[in-house]
Amino acid sequence: MTLRDKLNTGLKEAMRAKDGNRLSTLRLINAAIKDREIAARGSGDEVSVSDSDVLGILGKMVKQRQESARAYEEGGRLELAEKELSEIAVIEDFLPKQLNETESAAAVEKAIAETGAQSIRDMGKVMGALKSKYTGQMDFSKVGGLVKAQLA
């Protein structure tokens, strides 16, 4: 079952359960996926969106909501921050388990060994290898620092 199928199944279940919050979040996810498909159609690329593309979209949506929740909390709008956090919980239901710091460090070491990276110039190769295997499972902005530290 593809990730897209899981999202559609979750959407149907939310409709049956009359869970408005989950339903609206799943509709936002589907809209983002459709936007990606439309953009791909315009550039002449393949029309279907792969699971790794969907994982990238979901990861981006989580980051956006985290930033919004932080801004709402700083502005004293706790009800809006709660809404953002509940959307994050729904989105994370469809993301794979996140790697912890030790697992991320081990993955970085393995990617460095596989790519034969020697210096900071090879960072792009390492990040590419990590993104191909661990999309949706790690925060690449944090992993970049680990890669730099090990290649330096």
pLDDT at residue 142, as a whole number:
80
Tell me how many degrees the CA angle 138-143-147 measures, rounded to the nearest 5: 140
Residue 44: pLDDT band with limits 50, 70, 90:
low
- Do 133 and 109 share a domain, yes or no? yes
Structural domain range at position 56: 3-92
- Do 49 and 117 share a domain, yes or no? no
- Do 63 and 39 share a domain, yes or no? yes
- Do 88 and 107 share a domain, yes or no? no
Closest alpha carbon to 120 in 87, 149, 88, 95: 149
Total domains, the chain: 2
| Secondary structure of residue 33 in the 3-state scheme | helix
pTM given for the model: 0.74
Proportion of the chain above pLDDT 90, given as a percent: 38
The DSSP 8-state label assigned to residue 49 in this structure reads P
- Do 36 and 7 share a domain, yes or no? yes
At 100-113, the pLDDT tens digits run 888 888 888 888 88
pLDDT at 143 over 80: yes
